[in-house]
Amino acid sequence: MDTPEIQLILSKECPYCRRRFRRRATLYAHLTPYGSERIDCKVQFSLLLNYIADTYRKMRSLIRRHNGRYYVKGCLGYFRTFEEAYLKAKEMLNNYGCGG
């Protein structure tokens, strides 16, 4: 999952207030619920983490591995690599179907 928020966090910038940090540790302190400043940044970050966790759970329930092959629930056939299976599962989550 590659969202703009994640890219900003990796570049040591708060994705919500656009404040820049020299170290990731200070950005971490800015986004965790233990500080007193910028409560809205903490809430937005918490919502992002919940979204990422929910997406991971959905993907994990769709993809399974057996004998070196990856199977996606609801699709016929198998995939040789995890990346192919991931893309198909992502397509299914976006379209609520297996596609053509």
The tally of domains found in the chain comes to 1
Contact 64, 70 (CB under 8 A): yes
**Is residue 86 in some structural domain?**
yes
**What is the reported pLDDT for 95?**
77
**Is residue 85 in some structural domain?**
yes
pTM > 0.85: yes or no: no
At residue 82's C-alpha, the angle toward residues 64 and 10, to 5°, is 115
Domain that holds residue 79: 4-95
**Is residue 26 in some structural domain?**
yes
**Is residue 100 in some structural domain?**
no
In whole angstroms, what is the distance from residue 93 CA to residue 35 CA? Answer: 36
In whole angstroms, what is the distance from residue 55 CA to residue 28 CA? Answer: 22
In whole angstroms, what is the distance from residue 26 CA to residue 30 CA? Answer: 6
**What is the reported pLDDT for 70?**
92
Contact 21, 27 (CB under 8 A): yes
**What is the reported pLDDT for 100?**
42
In whole angstroms, what is the distance from residue 100 CA to residue 97 CA? Answer: 9
**What is the reported pLDDT for 32?**
82
**Is residue 88 in some structural domain?**
yes
**Is residue 58 in some structural domain?**
yes
**Is residue 74 in some structural domain?**
yes
| Per-residue pLDDT in tens (0 to 9) along the chain, 100 residues | 567 888 888 899 999 899 999 998 888 888 887 765 667 888 888 888 898 888 888 888 889 999 989 999 888 889 999 889 988 888 887 776 444 4
